[in-house]
Amino acid sequence: MTVSYALLGLLQEADRHGYDLKQSYDRRFGAVRPLRFGAVYRTLAQLQRDGLVAIVGVESGAGPDRKRYSITAEGVTDLERWLSEPEEPQPQLQTVLFQKVLLALMAGRPAIEYLDMQREAHLKVMRELTAARRTAKLRDGLHIDFQLFHIEADLRWIDHAAGRLDHLIEEMEMEVES
């Protein structure tokens, strides 16, 4: 999810200050990676420039003035458009894993060691996510499930690639000879 659409969605619920937006984002989407304050204000400035949000109030306090943001009609339309478009299926980490295997083999390094190390890293994260899943609320649990399913797919590919390394080495050697 892009931060801009997440903020638009949160503003559709209610007008908010930047601090409130960050806190709400982190509670709902930032369990793994909380949003930085700078990203919130940078995104709000872009959304305001594009006419998707407007400042509907400024409150002074002990610190800097607090601006209250509201989603505009154009922002609602853009958010609805984005929500109605399916996301393009994209390979996750596998492209990087594939490149590392080929590069290891090209450099004469044992790719199986890399795959074994990568499998262990994946399993470690999988164990951590599974432990977190046991006590997670439904929303957070669904996010964890999403991550687990992608890690599981990577693990299947790692096992598949490990079983085919000998054939891949032969194929690469034949390409060099040609």
Where exactly are the structural domains of the chain? 3-84, 94-177
Q: What pLDDT is recorded for position 26?
A: 84
Q: What pLDDT is recorded for position 93?
A: 47
HSE-up of residue 153 (Cα within 13 Å, Cβ side): 11
Kindly list the averaged pLDDT for each block of 10 residues, start to end, along the chain of length 178: 83 90 82 82 96 92 84 92 68 62 71 86 92 92 91 90 88 74
Q: What pLDDT is recorded for position 34?
A: 81
Q: What pLDDT is recorded for position 83?
A: 78
Architecture of domain 3-84: Orthogonal Bundle (1.10)
SS3 assignment, position 55? strand
Based on the number of CB atoms within 10 Å of its own CB, is 11 exposed (0-12), middle (13-18) or buried (19 or more)?
buried
